Structures are given as structure tokens and as C-alpha cells.
Structure 1
């Protein structure tokens, strides 16, 4: 008994341990819910970023009566190969996001890009208006990350990338010609970037997305209806971990093999069967500095373009370099699918299990045949997924997606 006549009793060791155990169980139960709530918030933020991009595209179209060109910029004084770097011109390699900067609250960035720049402040011009080619990270705009182009769920930051993007222009359901479009860019041409009849026919047959590389497009070209056509898609950026969604394999000059079988990388095989989201350790990788989404300003498919050939979160399948064409599908760090931006500005979440036809059917191109279901103008071989990526396939969409 205490002096006051009242017994004072504290917690026993057993009772303390029981309380601690209960708290631990509650934390264990609540932590996944907290993580899920955080991811839901990040996913919503990602969707909002995409909506702002869609609004910017529509405002651009209202201002200029066309969509921003994917593959725009300045030409060099002498003809160059389209993959060559240049400090005196952007070599017509700028993505849609460069032209969109003043329409997505990046007026200051546009002012830098559209004017000559004296980087070292010595009184002489280091870069002309519209900058150098996008791999030049000494040019400040190309090395700058724009918050409006980043998904909060994607942890990739810093070198060896330049400014990253998690959003990409939709180029349609065929990779043929995606790296070149309508311009004949050769270093032995008499003038920079001539247009040729043959290349125009190639592009007309294969470039079936809302954005046609190096050509002006308008909303009126989207005959399937803006609400039924994907305008842009989400992509995950590379983390240096051999994720087959974010780094290309070096398959040599296998362009035609991949054109005729989009599942070429899966069938060879190059994918780790025990970890299907990663390349085998023996698979040749196309350079650690060439990750997916590593250059927001570069129009090449691997950096800021996407296709509706393989379904979301399948592998990106490349050839001998990132300057070439590749099967560049959409991907994300969200569970189970990707965001897409429709032509009318709506943002939708497409699951990995979307109906995507036959992933081993040859792609549509000028040399396609009726037997292969890939003649110019054919309906997409890649089901609902492919149909959503084409602007004028006239496929009927049965219900919502």
C-alpha cells in the first residue's frame, strides 16, 4: 500500500510486449493501404499531367491550324544523315514537346530554344535558334527536365539521360518508316531533306498514327474520330536494370525480321524466362545512354514516340542503334497498364490485357500482301489496341475500352 492507501500498479513486461505486437500488426496491415493510397495519388497526378499536354495540343492546333510536327526544327547548311549529331542545327529531330512548350506553361523554356544562346557568356553565339541535335547535353534546354513531362511514379532521374519524358507521341500500328517520315535525309542528297515520291508512298502506307514523322497533321485527318484514337501514350524511362520495356536490344540489321514478326525478340529468345520483364544477361543491349524516354526533345521513336503494335508493357524490340526504327510500345510504373491521351483530350487507363490481335502478324507497309493481312489500308492486325492507334482505319469499336 502507498502512503495514500491506494495501490499503484504499472504495466507488466508481458502486457507491454502484447501492446507492441498489436501495434506492429496494425502497422503491417495499414502500410500496404498507405502505399496504395500514395500510388493512387501519383497516378492521378500523372493523369493530370497528360490532360495538360492534351490541352496544350488542342491550343496549339487552335493557334496554328495544325498539330505540332514530330520531327521539326532547323536543317544543317550541308545535307546530313538524319541520325548524325550537329551543333549548328537540330537536323529536323525535334519532338512535338518542343513546339508545345509555350502551351504547357513553359514560355521561358521556349524563349531559350527559339533564340540564339551564348552559353559561356563570352559574347559569341554557341547555339543557333532551335538548338543543336537533342543528344547535346551541353545545351541547357535539352538537359532540363520538365515537370509536366514526368510521371511521379517513375523514379528515373539524372545522367546518363538528358531531360526525361514519360509521355510520347503515338505513331500508329507500324514501325516502318517511324524514324524518317516523309523527308529523304541523306548526306549525298543535292539539297537538305528533299521529298521523294517513293518515300511519300512509304509514309502514306505505314505512318498511320495521329502524328506522322516530319509531316504536318491536323485533327481533320483523324477520320476515326478524336474520341476513338490515341494521340499519345505513357512510357517508363530506363533505370539501368535491363528492363526490356526501357532499353533496346542490339539485334543487328533485323528491321525486316521485326516488321514481319513483332514478337521477334520474344521468339529468338532474348527475354529471361524466369523474369519476363528483363532481358537475358546474354542479350546485347543498345548502349547504357540510350534508355527509353531519355530525351524529351528527340523525335526518334525510342525517346518520345510510341506504337500500338505490341500491347502495353511488352518489350521494346530494336535493331543496331536507337537512331533506327524499333517496336516502341507503351509502358509505365503503374500496376497493370498505362495512361493514354485520346484525340479529344480525354485520358484513359488501358490495361495490359487489352485485346491486341496477333502479335506475330506482319505490320502494314507498302510492300504488304493480302495473304499477310498487311496491305496498305488494311485494318490493324493488332486488334482493338492497333485500331485505337490508327487515325483512319474505320474500324468499329464495340463498347468502351
Structure 2
């Protein structure tokens, strides 16, 4: 009898094939992941370009930039003193971010119509909220426009989602190389639009708020004397994911005892925000020590801690509608992806509100002319021992190198180096 040959793999051959497939998958997987991140990064920059175009169109229409800290005026019953810092359901306390004004220019006319008219939440025919809504406040979720996610305001590389955030954004207005005075901006803290800003407030704004956006002040492209292609309009930010990240969970009320350079003249800290802070976990330098909270959580005006729901909402990028720096503001006193160390207890305190992202090695910036540029973590940041209050003066060259020069609008700095 003849024996028939049977086609097939031996066990050894099968194991070899499986091993080869495993090696190929191991080699290809990083490449696939890199390709996906490249696509997400491109989508992120495209979102930023649309925002840049919206800013230009807004300026063409209204002859000014959208205001960072705009909206309806003061609620005289909201609290005392410093009424404009308190929550109100009847006005928004001039606390709306520049992104609210951009809504009709980023294909969000329907959402703008809800905001610009009185809103009846329960459908009983009586408006529950006035036109332009209440103050966007962490922990207050009833006003539906403030909890509406807008895809164009989100970077695909950032997975953050859900409560306790209202609705997140990855794009923020540039305040310049200092945040001194950003909490109040150009307004009267007790009278709002019903009284002129105090002379000391005006002096603070003129001296230290040197960015393309100044809270509660009307700004124009003509104010940018350094050139739109040399001035940051907006910066990318990460949103917090509740893991004590130094780039997204700000440490408030920190002092030089905590390892930061803090200058307390005139009652306001002016942090250099150096990375040798004792608050940072030495084994995981992107995270704070677990023991620092709640000692360095934000405090309310009367000195009491915020309720847990509100404190949990006081994290980076958690509220696209609010002008507060922790949500929609960046400073350029440090390079991208550096820690948020804040000298006081408010959401726009002086300190470091750095540009940040989950992209490898840096983050995007939007320049005043609409160009989107990726800057690296190694960009020249100048003298990192310089504090914001004493080192930054109207008209002076920024002490914070190329990143500081890019953040200022009117210091006549010539930027010769590439943005890297």
C-alpha cells in the first residue's frame, strides 16, 4: 500500500509562526500608536486654527477681541465685600470667558441663542435664568449651556470627561508673563460696571497684565505692538483627571516654606515656581505629595474651605465658560508642562498657569495672526528665579526668555530664535 502525504504544520513550525507574528505585532504596535497620536495632534491643531479664525472674524465684526471676563454686571446682593467674586444666579458677574463670545463664530449659534436669551429649564413658562446666564461656578450644574461639551474646544489627546467638571476646554487665553491682577482685572470689585476701577486696580492692570487678553478689559489687535506673529493669543492646556497632577491640579496658598521662591511684597506672592518645591513627590515629579491637600486647596473669601463639590470642580480646564485662569487662562513665565503653583486662594491668583498638553514633548500655541505652532518643553524660559511682581514692569523686556517674550504684546521684543 502507498502512504499518502499529509500537508500541514508540525507543532514546532506552528510555534515558530506564532512567535514571528508576536514579534511583528510588538514592532508594529508602537508605530500604530504613534500614528494615532499624530492624527490626534493634527486634529488638535486644526481645532486651534478654527479658534484663531473665529478670533479674527470676531475682531472684524466688533472691532475688538472677545473679552476675557465679559458678561452682565454686578449682582449687588451676591456678597460683601468684593461682591464681584461671589456666585450669583441673577447675573454672571462679568465672569464669562472669551470662548462664550466666540460661539457664533465656531458653528455654535444654537448654543449662543440659548445663552443670550432667558432660559426656562423646567418648562413652566417662567425663565429660571436671565439672558447670558449665571456665573459659571464649579459645583453648580443647573444651567445647561455651561455643562454642554463643545467638540471644537477639546483636544482628542486629552481623555478627561465627566463630573465634577462642568464642560471642559483644552484651549485658553494668554494673559502674558504675569498673572498679578488677573483675578479682578479692570473692574471695581464692589461696584462692577456701576463704578470706575480704583486707581490701584488700573495701575496693576497697566503694569502686570501684558498679554493679548486682559481680564475685564476691551482689547484690540492694534494693542499688540510686538506683531501678531510674535505674540501668543491662546495656549493649549490639559484638563484634570483627579490624580494630583502638578500640571492640572493647582496648589493654592503655597509659600517659600513649601520650597517655592515667593516674594510677598505688597501682600501678594509672586512665585518663580521653581521645580524644587517640597510639595512635589520626589519619586513621581509630575505629581504632588499626597499629604499637601487639603492644606493647599483654594479657600473662600471668608477664610473657610470651599465645599467639596466646588473644590473638586476647581481644576484645570473644567469650565470653558469661566474667565478664571485655572479654567481658561495661561501665563508665559515658565515653559510648557510645568507645575501650577499659586500664591493666593482664588482661581486666577498670581503664580504659574502654564501651557500644557498630553502631546509628547510640548504643546500647541495659537499666535495672534492665526498660526498654530508646537513649542517644546525645552523652549528658552529665561530667569526662572525671577518673581512676577518685581521682575515684570510695563514696557520692560520679559525676564522669562523666548516664552515670556511671546506672551507679551507691547514690549518691543525681537524674537530671533525658533520656537523650540
Which consecutive residues of structure 1, in runs of 5 or more, have no partner in the other structure?
none
Q: Does 1:394 align with 2:412?
A: yes
Contact 2:270–2:343 at 8 Å: present in 1 too? no
Moved more, 109-118 or 196-205: 196-205
In the alignment, the residues of structure 1 paired with residue 194 and residue 19 of structure 2 have an alpha-carbon distance, to the nearest angstrom, of 73
**Partner residue, 1:229:** 231
Instruction: Name the CA shift for 1:12/1:277 in 2 (closer, same or farther; >3 Å).
Output: same
Query: CA shift at 1:149, angstroms?
Result: 0.3
Instruction: Name the CA shift for 1:375/1:61 in 2 (closer, same or farther; >3 Å).
Output: closer
**Partner residue, 1:179:** 183
Which consecutive residues of structure 2, in runs of 5 or more, have no partner in the other structure?
257-261, 298-310
**Partner residue, 2:291:** 282
- Post-superposition Cα deviations, 1:205-238, rounded to whole Å, max 9, x if no partner, equal 0110000110000001100000010000000000
**Partner residue, 2:301:** none
In the alignment, the residues of structure 2 paired with residue 235 and residue 193 of structure 1 have an alpha-carbon distance, to the nearest angstrom, of 34
Q: Does 1:159 align with 2:154?
A: no
In the alignment, the residues of structure 2 paired with residue 302 and residue 140 of structure 1 have an alpha-carbon distance, to the nearest angstrom, of 21
Query: CA shift at 1:272, angstroms?
Result: 1.1
Instruction: Name the CA shift for 1:376/1:96 in 2 (closer, same or farther; >3 Å).
Output: same
SS of 1:282's equivalent?
helix
In the alignment, the residues of structure 2 paired with residue 292 and residue 40 of structure 1 have an alpha-carbon distance, to the nearest angstrom, of 24
In the alignment, the residues of structure 2 paired with residue 25 and residue 268 of structure 1 have an alpha-carbon distance, to the nearest angstrom, of 43
Instruction: Name the CA shift for 1:29/1:159 in 2 (closer, same or farther; >3 Å).
Output: same
- Post-superposition Cα deviations, 1:172-201, rounded to whole Å, max 9, x if no partner, equal 001101111111212xx4974532222111
Moved more, 133-142 or 233-242: 133-142
**Partner residue, 1:210:** 212
Contact 1:88–1:132 at 8 Å: present in 2 too? yes
In the alignment, the residues of structure 2 paired with residue 190 and residue 49 of structure 1 have an alpha-carbon distance, to the nearest angstrom, of 34
In the alignment, the residues of structure 2 paired with residue 190 and residue 131 of structure 1 have an alpha-carbon distance, to the nearest angstrom, of 17
**Partner residue, 1:97:** 99
Q: Does 1:263 align with 2:267?
A: no
TM-score, normalised on structure 1?
0.93
Q: Does 1:138 align with 2:142?
A: yes
**Partner residue, 1:53:** 51
SS of 1:34's equivalent?
helix
- Post-superposition Cα deviations, 1:132-183, rounded to whole Å, max 9, x if no partner, equal 0111321001001100100000000000100100000000001101111111
Q: Does 1:350 align with 2:375?
A: yes
SS of 1:302's equivalent?
helix
In the alignment, the residues of structure 1 paired with residue 284 and residue 254 of structure 2 have an alpha-carbon distance, to the nearest angstrom, of 24
In the alignment, the residues of structure 1 paired with residue 338 and residue 57 of structure 2 have an alpha-carbon distance, to the nearest angstrom, of 33
Query: CA shift at 1:252, angstroms?
Result: 5.8
Instruction: Name the CA shift for 1:347/1:191 in 2 (closer, same or farther; >3 Å).
Output: closer
**Partner residue, 2:19:** 21
Contact 2:271–2:387 at 8 Å: present in 1 too? yes
**Partner residue, 2:60:** 62
**Partner residue, 1:381:** 399
In the alignment, the residues of structure 1 paired with residue 108 and residue 414 of structure 2 have an alpha-carbon distance, to the nearest angstrom, of 38
**Partner residue, 2:282:** 273
